[in-house]
Structure formats: C-alpha cells, structure tokens
Amino acid sequence: MKLPDWYWLSSAVLAAYGFLVVANNETEEIKDERAKDACPMRLESRGKCEAGECPFQVSLPPLAIQLPEQFGRIQEVFKEVQNLKEIVNSLKKTCQDCKLQADDNRDPTPGEAGDNRVQELESEVNKLSSELKSAKDQIDVLHGRLEKLNLVNMNNVENYVDSKVANLTSVVNSLDGKCSSKCPSQEQIQSPLIQHLIHKDCSDYYIIGKRSSETYRVTPDPKNSSFEVYCDMETMGGGWTVLQARLDGSTNFTKTWQDYKTGFGNLRREFWLGNDKIHLLTKSKEMILRIDLEDFNGVKLYALYDQFYVANEFLKYRLHIGNYNGTAGDALRFSKHYNHDLKFFTTPDRDNDRYPSGNCGLYYSSGWWFDACLSANLNGKYYHQKYRGVRNGIFWGTWPGISEAQPSGYKSSFKEAKMMIRPKHFKP
C-alpha cells in the first residue's frame, strides 16, 4: 500500500508549524491552529475545507512571508563577514607600509617569533573564513530544503554563523594588535598562505599529487574529527571518496541505525563509511555521486548524479540527489511512486520509510533511503548467484533485463557495487 500524497504534505506542514513557533512569536494564529486538533476541522473553520480535499488546501502563505526575514538576517551576517575580510586586507596593507617605513629608518628586522605569530593569525583568519563559507554553503543547502520541507531550525544556523563571526572578529582584533606593534617582513607577508593543510576529501589529496588508490585521512569539517577514507584515484580521472563498496559478501550489511551512523566493514574491501561522515563530506562542498555496478555476466554500468547531499542525524540523514547521467539508469528516481530522493534513512531497527504497515529496512535486510519501499537498494544482502524469495539482494531497478520474469522466480544479483563522491567543480 502506498501513502496518499496528502499525508506526506500535511505531516510536513505540521512539522513546519513547530519551526515557526520557535522562529517567531508573532505567529499567534499559527500557534492557535496547532493547539487545535490536526487538519480537517481547522481548515473547515477557516472556510477553506471541502469534503475529503482539505489537506490539499493547507495554507502555506505564512511561510512565504516568514522566510525572507530569516534569510535577510543571514545576508546581514555575511555582509559583516565581508567587512571583516576587508579589514584584514587593509591590515595586511598597513603592515606592508609599516615594513617599508621601517626599511627607510633602517630599523633592525623584527624577530622570528613575532613574524610567526602574525602568520599564524593570518592562517587562522583564513581557516575561519573558509569555515564561514562552509556555513554559507550549508545554509544554501538548507534554504533549498526549506522550500521543500520546512523542518529546519534556523536558530541553530544563526547561532552557528554568529559564533563564527564572533570568533573571526576576535582574531581580527588580535591581529590588529600584533600589526601595530610589530612589522612582519615583506617576504612573509607575500608568501602564499598555506591553503591545503586540511584535506577535506580525496580530491584534495589528488590536488597535491597523490595518485594511488588507497586509504587517506580526511577532515571535511575542521570542527569535527578526521577519519580514514578509501580514495579511488583511477575512475573518471580520480579524486573520488568512496562511501560504500560491495565485492564479495565479506561484510554483513544487515545492521542497526547506530552501525550505519558510525560506519562498518573494511575500507579496503566491503564497507559503509557511516552516515555522520557522509553528512560531513557532503555538507561543506557541492558533491556529485557516482555509482558503479557489475553483474555476474561481467556487465559494468554506472550512474552519475550531479548533486549528492545527506542531511544530519536530526533530519534522519535525508537523501538529496541531483540530475542523473550514465548507463545504468536512474533507479534512485525510478518513478513518481518509487523515488529515493528526499527520503529519510531507514534501518531494520529504525523505521523512517514511507511504507505505513511495516519497516522496509527490516523486510529487505538493509539500511537505505527507503520509499515504500524500493527501486534501488545497494545495501541489500550479498548473493553469490541468482536467488529466490524476497528481493532483498543488492538491487538496481533500471538494470537491463532485471525486471523480466525469470524461470522459477529467480532474481539476479550483483557481483560488485560501489558508491563514491567528488566535488562538483573538481577537474582532474
């Protein structure tokens, strides 16, 4: 059975009320609506409900009015950041002028310690502004999501940006103090700031010349921990961070929410990298997704999605995919009724799917962004050959011939599957 579309819409709208009440206490009307019983009566009392169609008439206009205010605020913050950057630049200029002046006066050159300090502060400012850019990208993504489902807590985003701005301001102030008391040498000012100290993903290792496919340590978010990933430096130019791999059935993929959250398996063989890590990797840069599949006849096909983002645990690791290109077919967005885009993550012990009377993850022995239930499931069981019964193997619904009836109800399985990501604007 499939959930009617209105059920999805109305629950989204109910969730959105929660956000609005937090975001703005002027919304008395909405608060009252929320206090009453869900939908039909409420809509009827506003004279907008007709028979069974009421849920389609949930009135969204208050959202359209609220959101620009929130985002206007964010715009201001970014202007502030821009100003801070300009101050930093003018401070650098001041320092240079100061150095020239010092040369004229034939003052002794300043000591090493002072120079290093300024350099350190400069790279700190650099780091913070790149973190702010990350925050902005994150907000852009959130903005896009808000238009689809108003679930996000803007207060958190605002606090995050505010605290970053506060930190940047304090660094700028201390830089100011350093600059007016000590003049760093010209050379050190002009030396390029260390840009790639932090490797956010495999493409950063590619950029510094690493060409062998193996494990590397990445730090997608400087605020969070770094971790090992496997890098594919060969496919389509390389620079890919591998999220998932299947090749021999050595790892069991029937796992819990907690297992999928932290990741499991062996990075050099079969594994799931982990939803928290996938979130971190996809939140700060625009990523594309590549899926490679091989069946037991040696047929190899691929699917490319020009956007890939996985939300955080609070948002149940919701999947966002962009346009499809490739040879394996768009099984993630198979049809109106089987579409994994924008679906929450479900595991056998955590039902976030759209199938009302059961858990797709339990039924199909997998953790995945189930709809009700699936047209693709790359975390299904590993079968070494054709199998019968529930279609709980690795599955890609657009694979040539996969849906044709087979003698005695046999289902085909896959020999290899791989999911990997790379920044959208990366050029190998």
Ligand X SMILES: *[C@@H]1O[C@H](CO)[C@@H](O)[C@H](O)[C@H]1NC(C)=O
Give the footprint of ligand X on this chain (CB under 6 A). 25-26, 163, 166-167, 224-225, 252, 254, 276-277, 280, 325
Tell me if 176 contacts Ca ion by CB under 5 A. Answer: no
Alpha-carbon distance of 321 to 340, in angstroms, equals: 9
> Which residues does residue 346 pair with via DSSP β-bridges, in sequence order?
368
Question: Which one of ligand X, Ca ion, none interacts with residue 26, CB within 5 to 8 A by kind?
Answer: ligand X
Nearer to ligand X, 175 or 280 (CB): 280
H or E segment at 173? helix 154-181
The nearest distance, CB 235 to ligand X, in angstroms, is 13
The nearest distance, CB 63 to ligand X, in angstroms, is 17
Nearer to Ca ion, 286 or 351 (CB): 351
Alpha-carbon distance of 160 to 173, in angstroms, equals: 20
Question: Which one of Ca ion, ligand X, none interacts with residue 353, CB within 5 to 8 A by kind?
Answer: Ca ion
Nearer to ligand X, 43 or 121 (CB): 121
Question: Which one of ligand X, Ca ion, none interacts with residue 163, CB within 5 to 8 A by kind?
Answer: ligand X
Nearest residue to 308 via CA among 337, 279, 339: 279
Nearer to Ca ion, 99 or 350 (CB): 350
Nearer to Ca ion, 294 or 351 (CB): 351
Quick note: the x/- pattern for Ca ion over 315-354, rule CB under 5 A, is: ------------------------------------x-x-
Question: Which one of Ca ion, ligand X, none interacts with residue 325, CB within 5 to 8 A by kind?
Answer: ligand X
Which whole-number Å values give the CA distances from 153 to 9, 70, 99, in the listed order?
19, 11, 48
Residue type, 233: M
The nearest distance, CB 362 to ligand X, in angstroms, is 10
Quick note: the x/- pattern for Ca ion over 99-128, rule CB under 5 A, is: ------------------------------
Alpha-carbon distance of 240 to 226, in angstroms, equals: 17
Ranges within 280-319 binding Ca ion (CB under 5 A): none
Tell me if 201 contacts Ca ion by CB under 5 A. Answer: no
DSSP assignment of 32-65, as one string? Answer: HHHHS-STHHHHHHTT---GGGGGGG---HHHHH
Question: Which one of ligand X, Ca ion, none interacts with residue 167, CB within 5 to 8 A by kind?
Answer: ligand X
H or E segment at 86? helix 61-104
Nearer to Ca ion, 358 or 409 (CB): 358
Question: Which one of Ca ion, ligand X, none interacts with residue 351, CB within 5 to 8 A by kind?
Answer: Ca ion
Task: Report the alpha-carbon angle 290-295-301, nearest 5.
Answer: 35
The nearest distance, CB 313 to ligand X, in angstroms, is 7
Do 184 and 119 meet the contact criterion of CB atoms below 8 Å apart? yes
Alpha-carbon distance of 271 to 264, in angstroms, equals: 6
Q: Establish how many alpha carbons lie within 13 A of residue 366's alpha carbon, considering only the half-sphere containing its beta carbon.
A: 22
Question: Which one of ligand X, Ca ion, none interacts with residue 5, CB within 5 to 8 A by kind?
Answer: none
Nearer to ligand X, 55 or 227 (CB): 227
Nearer to ligand X, 340 or 381 (CB): 381
Question: Which one of ligand X, Ca ion, none interacts with residue 355, CB within 5 to 8 A by kind?
Answer: Ca ion
For 318, residues 6+ apart whose C-beta sits below 8 A from its C-beta are: 145, 310, 311, 342, 343, 344, 345, 369
The nearest distance, CB 224 to ligand X, in angstroms, is 4
Do 355 and 369 meet the contact criterion of CB atoms below 8 Å apart? no
Nearer to ligand X, 317 or 396 (CB): 317
The nearest distance, CB 351 to Ca ion, in angstroms, is 4
Alpha-carbon distance of 412 to 406, in angstroms, equals: 9
Question: Which one of ligand X, Ca ion, none interacts with residue 292, CB within 5 to 8 A by kind?
Answer: none
Classify residue 184 by its DSSP letter: P
Tell me if 368 contacts Ca ion by CB under 5 A. Answer: no
Tell me if 355 contacts Ca ion by CB under 5 A. Answer: yes
Exposed e or buried b for every residue in 227-256, given b needs 16+ CB within 10 A?
A: bebbbbbebeebbbbbbbbbeeeebebbbe
Name the one residue in this structure whose structure tokens are 């046999």: 410
Nearer to ligand X, 99 or 200 (CB): 200
Question: Which one of Ca ion, ligand X, none interacts with residue 204, CB within 5 to 8 A by kind?
Answer: none
- Catalog residues that contact Ca ion under the rule CB under 5 A: 351, 353, 355
